[in-house]
Protein backbone atom coordinates (compact mmCIF):
# COMPACT_ATOMS: atom_id res chain seq x y z
CA UNK A 1 0.00 0.00 0.00
CA UNK A 2 1.45 3.35 -0.99
CA UNK A 3 1.62 6.08 1.59
CA UNK A 4 -1.20 8.58 1.36
CA UNK A 5 -0.53 12.36 1.57
CA UNK A 6 -1.96 12.52 5.10
CA UNK A 7 0.06 9.54 6.41
CA UNK A 8 3.54 9.44 7.91
CA UNK A 9 5.91 6.55 8.54
CA UNK A 10 7.59 6.40 11.94
CA UNK A 11 10.88 4.51 11.67
CA UNK A 12 14.28 3.99 13.21
CA UNK A 13 13.62 5.31 16.70
CA UNK A 14 16.50 4.39 18.96
CA UNK A 15 17.68 5.85 22.24
CA UNK A 16 21.37 5.55 23.15
CA UNK A 17 21.93 2.86 25.79
CA UNK A 18 23.12 5.35 28.41
CA UNK A 19 19.79 7.22 28.16
CA UNK A 20 17.36 4.29 28.06
CA UNK A 21 14.79 3.61 30.79
CA UNK A 22 14.51 7.37 31.49
CA UNK A 23 11.24 7.95 29.57
CA UNK A 24 13.01 9.83 26.76
CA UNK A 25 11.55 7.57 24.07
CA UNK A 26 8.09 7.99 25.55
CA UNK A 27 8.44 11.78 25.62
CA UNK A 28 9.75 11.80 22.03
CA UNK A 29 6.90 9.66 20.68
CA UNK A 30 4.30 11.80 22.45
CA UNK A 31 5.88 14.95 21.00
CA UNK A 32 5.95 13.48 17.48
CA UNK A 33 2.31 12.34 17.72
CA UNK A 34 1.21 15.78 18.91
CA UNK A 35 3.20 17.56 16.19
CA UNK A 36 1.90 15.32 13.40
CA UNK A 37 -1.68 15.68 14.63
CA UNK A 38 -1.25 19.50 14.57
CA UNK A 39 0.09 19.25 10.99
CA UNK A 40 -3.01 17.37 9.82
CA UNK A 41 -1.49 13.89 9.57
CA UNK A 42 -4.26 11.35 10.01
CA UNK A 43 -2.27 8.11 10.27
CA UNK A 44 1.17 7.17 11.55
CA UNK A 45 2.46 3.73 10.66
CA UNK A 46 5.58 1.68 11.06
CA UNK A 47 6.94 -1.75 11.74
CA UNK A 48 8.94 -3.65 14.30
CA UNK A 49 11.90 -5.63 13.01
CA UNK A 50 12.57 -9.15 14.22
CA UNK A 51 15.93 -8.14 15.71
CA UNK A 52 14.39 -5.23 17.62
CA UNK A 53 11.74 -7.51 19.07
CA UNK A 54 14.41 -10.02 20.09
CA UNK A 55 16.35 -7.22 21.85
CA UNK A 56 13.23 -5.62 23.36
CA UNK A 57 10.43 -8.22 23.76
CA UNK A 58 8.09 -5.57 25.19
CA UNK A 59 8.40 -3.33 22.11
CA UNK A 60 4.99 -4.08 20.54
CA UNK A 61 3.29 -3.53 23.91
CA UNK A 62 5.21 -0.27 24.26
CA UNK A 63 3.85 0.99 20.92
CA UNK A 64 0.38 -0.19 21.91
CA UNK A 65 0.64 2.00 25.03
CA UNK A 66 0.41 4.98 22.62
CA UNK A 67 -2.72 3.40 21.06
CA UNK A 68 -0.88 2.02 18.03
CA UNK A 69 -2.62 -1.08 16.70
CA UNK A 70 -1.32 -4.09 14.87
CA UNK A 71 -1.99 -3.87 11.16
CA UNK A 72 -2.01 -6.13 8.17
CA UNK A 73 1.52 -6.96 7.04
CA UNK A 74 0.63 -6.22 3.43
CA UNK A 75 -0.36 -2.66 4.31
CA UNK A 76 3.01 -1.81 5.85
CA UNK A 77 5.43 -4.22 4.25
CA UNK A 78 9.01 -3.54 5.32
CA UNK A 79 11.80 -6.03 4.83
CA UNK A 80 12.60 -7.89 8.04
CA UNK A 81 9.52 -6.66 9.88
CA UNK A 82 7.41 -9.01 11.95
CA UNK A 83 4.97 -6.55 13.55
CA UNK A 84 3.13 -3.85 11.65
CA UNK A 85 1.76 -0.95 13.68
CA UNK A 86 -0.45 2.06 12.94
CA UNK A 87 -2.14 4.88 14.82
CA UNK A 88 -5.13 6.78 13.47
CA UNK A 89 -5.10 10.39 14.65
CA UNK A 90 -8.62 11.43 13.69
Does this model's pTM top 0.85? My answer is no
CATH architecture of the domain formed by 7-88: 3-Layer(aba) Sandwich (3.40)
pLDDT tens digits along 71-81: 876 555 566 77
pLDDT tens for 33-62 read 999 999 999 999 888 888 888 888 999 999
What is residue 46's predicted lDDT score, i.e. its pLDDT?
Answer: 87
**Mean model confidence pLDDT for the chain:** 86
With a cut of 80, say whether residue 4 has pLDDT above it: no
Domain map (residue ranges) of the chain:
7-88
Burial of 78: CB neighbours in 10 Å, binned 0-12, 13-18, 19+: middle
Amino acid sequence: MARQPNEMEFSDLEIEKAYRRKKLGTALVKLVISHLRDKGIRRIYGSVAKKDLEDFPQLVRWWESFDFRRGNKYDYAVSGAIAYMYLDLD
